[in-house]
Chain A
Amino acid sequence: MFVDTKHHRPAKPRAAPAPPRFRLGESRAAMGLLFMLPAASILLLFLAYPLGLGVWLGMTDTRVGRIGHYIGIENYEMLWMDSVFWTSVFNTFLYTVVASIAKFALGLYLALLLNRHLPFKAFLRAIVLLPWIVPTALSAIAFWWIYDSQFSIVSWSLQRLGLIDNYINFLGDPAWARASVIIANVWRGIPFVAITLLAGLQTIPPSLYEAATIDGATPWQRFRYVTFPMLTPIIAVVMTFSVLFTFTDFQLIYVLTRGGPLNATHLMATLSFQRAIPGGNLGEGAAIAVTMIPFLLSAILFSYFGLQRRRWQHGGTD
């Protein structure tokens, strides 16, 4: 263990006490503040200020090119009556819940596969990361082609297999569109879940599995009683991040559907942008963005309690 001796060293008695003089380098508090300053200013400027501005804008009727006035909660009252807003809330929840569950299930499955002794293990692990590395906008364009109403490779393959007669209108039909964007999001999100869970799996000592085998556990019981409980702390971390990323997703939707058809894929984030920038209603857009805050806060609180160290992780140092 490192011991920070530098700061705990008792002051040496000096032969001739010099007149007390303030030295920046000797003050732990001043140096601490100084080192914190760059990070703090970046956070204030790029996180706290926009957040505060957004909350303020949400209470004004600001439009592009016109300074707004304070109108209290009028924007929120309007949203309360706005069926499109409620559709976007429903869409956001559907998108987040379905995509997160799918990402978790498939990511865990993939992690368990990759944790085995496979040929070309390192190569396979690198490949798995690909969807995550490719910029979202690029992979969204690829999916756009996959889902194209005339040139879709999926429709083409299904037709060749004789499973369908007409091409599927993936992005034109509300139900298909919702499913399509969720699939694209899952594809993109799996690597993050899989690789993180794989890292967690590798911290489980093999002797635990051997002990469980001797104790008479079947492969399923080894997963149920050893792997899964030991993985729960890391699952909590991964799923918190995964839920936050999914809830606030914007790029994928905006490239694929722009919220259509018939607002079937509008998420709160895309609707907020749509109303604020192309629509020009900065105040209303900001208000939609602000309504995301309670949901995100509750997700964070959930993870805060979920992330707390389990009782078995406490105590003991060796």
Chain B
Amino acid sequence: MASVDIRQVRKAFGTFEVIHGIDVDIGDEEFVVLVGPSGCGKSTLLRMIAGLEQISGGEISIGGRVVNQMPPKERDIAMVFQNYALYPHMNVFDNMAFSMKLRHAEKSLIEQRVRQAAEILDLTKYLDRYPRQLSGGQRQRVAMGRAIVRDPQVFLFDEPLSNLDAKLRVQMRTEIKALHQRLRTTSIYVTHDQIEAMTMADRIVVMHEGHVEQIGTPLELYDRPANLFVAGFIGSPAMNFMEGTLRREGDRAWVAAKGDLALPAPRGVGGSDGQTVVYGIRPGHLRIASDAEQGLPAEVEVIEPTGDNTLVFCRLGDIIVCAATTERHPLQPGERLRLVPQRDAGHVFDAATGQRL
């Protein structure tokens, strides 16, 4: 097991730069998720760590060794591909044993390691089967088995769950996390699914257009997003945003938005009086006011019950905001109500730079 250090790494295809100098330090035994919308460079970064793409600039080291010029097999990594990349003409045993066979490992050792991995992944029954005879989840496990057999310093996962159906995806997510807790192998996991990132990661690296937007634990990113992009990307349903002007009076600070709305800024917010800002609040932090309470006047547009909670989409001035409530309000579209933002749950971002204030 080893740490992975990424220093000022750049990637250009011809003259077109897709990754613009990224720094990430991944600790030993850590499970780090690279997340971002498609085209943000997360897969390219992973492939550079694997050695499948040349590094155009900067340095990647695994376990303290700079690997820039090292071929993939010397980097001591294993990779799980999105389409699993199982060899269709080899049965499960041979798929898992392939890397050891290439290294001319002893037969008994290969047998032992494959059986061990198969046991961990509950694949013992399927060792004679061919990939075509397996279900999606089983193939996924074989792909992981192939990685485990190699006993590498680092596991690399390239969107390994995106070919599975929703239910299996949740199940495999838990299995991968449990596997990491058992093996403690440093893991780098690429996904575009922020829920996958939140649930699995020790730390998340949010990427956008070839830059790192923020690095932190899942809850750090959720509670204190560094900028508008992270605020909008992490969390489902997404954060509500309203433009306005920051107002300060003594210790009190609020955001004055269109339609005479006063949105309470959290304590300790930066920025100066009169600054143009974006106010953000998560749907779960918008409460539907009781009859006696003051609040932001809104009109119900759409109601989406999910069971755990109910998402109420309301028109507030000229924008639509979403409020999530666990209570069962008998609401109807067109009904008027008042929304109460939880005081310190708001986020204020500079409108020009998008950075948190």
Contacts and interface: CB of A to CB of B under 8 A. Distances in A.
A311 B90 CA distance: 10
A314 B50 CA distance: 32
Interface stretch (A124-132, A207-215, A258-266, A280-288): A207-215
A216 B103 contact: yes
B79 A318 contact: no
Interface in B60-114: 71-73, 77-79, 81-83, 85, 87-91, 98-99, 102-103
Contacts of B87: 208, 211-212, 225-226
B136 interface: yes
A312 interface: yes
Contacts of A215: 73, 98-99, 102, 146, 150
Contacts of A230: 88-89
Contact of A207 (B85, B103, B134, B150): B85
Contacts of A102: none
Nearest to B158: A207
A17 interface: no
A214 B50 contact: yes
A294 B52 CA distance: 52
Nearest to B99: A215
A311 B98 contact: no
Interface string B121-146: 00000000011111010000000001
B332 to A, nearest CB: 43
A214 B81 CA distance: 11
B99 A216 contact: yes
Given A207-B83, A316-B133, A318-B136, A214 B78 contact: yes
Contact of A213 (B72, B83, B88): B72
Contacts of B102: 215-217, 221
Interface string A266-305: 0000000000000000000000000000000000000000
Interface residues of A, number: 24
Contacts of B72: 213-214, 216
A227 to B, nearest CB: 11
Given A230-B89, A310-B89, A312-B90, A211 B81 contact: yes
Q: Which of A211, A214, A311, A312 has the most CB of B within 10 A?
A: A214
Nearest to B91: A312
Interface of A: prevailing SS: helix
Contacts of A226: 87
A310 B87 CA distance: 14
Contacts, number: 76
Interface in A187-229: 205, 207-208, 210-217, 221, 225-226, 229
A205 B83 contact: yes
A313 interface: yes
Contacts of B150: 215
Contact of A315 (B71, B81, B85, B132): B132
Contacts of A310: 89
A202 to B, nearest CB: 16
Contact of B130 (A205, A214, A311): A311
A205 B84 CA distance: 11
Contacts of B83: 205, 207
Contacts of A225: 87, 98
A217 B50 CA distance: 14
Interface string B162-178: 00000000000000000
Nearest to A318: B136
A217 B146 CA distance: 14
B73 A213 contact: yes
Contacts of A315: 130, 132-133
A219 to B, nearest CB: 11
Complex A-B, nearest 10 residue pairs according to Cβ-Cβ distance, in ascending order = A216-B73, A316-B132, A215-B99, A211-B85, A207-B85, A315-B133, A312-B130, A229-B89, A312-B89, A214-B72
Interface of B: 50-52, 71-73, 77-79, 81-83, 85, 87-91, 98-99, 102-103, 130-134, 136, 146, 150
7 contacts: A210-B85, A212-B98, A214-B79, A215-B98, A217-B73, A312-B89, A312-B131
Interface of A: 205, 207-208, 210-217, 221, 225-226, 229-230, 310-316, 318
Given A221-B102, A312-B130, A315-B130, 14 more contacts: A207-B83, A208-B87, A212-B98, A213-B52, A213-B73, A214-B50, A216-B72, A217-B102, A225-B87, A226-B87, A310-B89, A311-B130, A315-B133, A316-B133
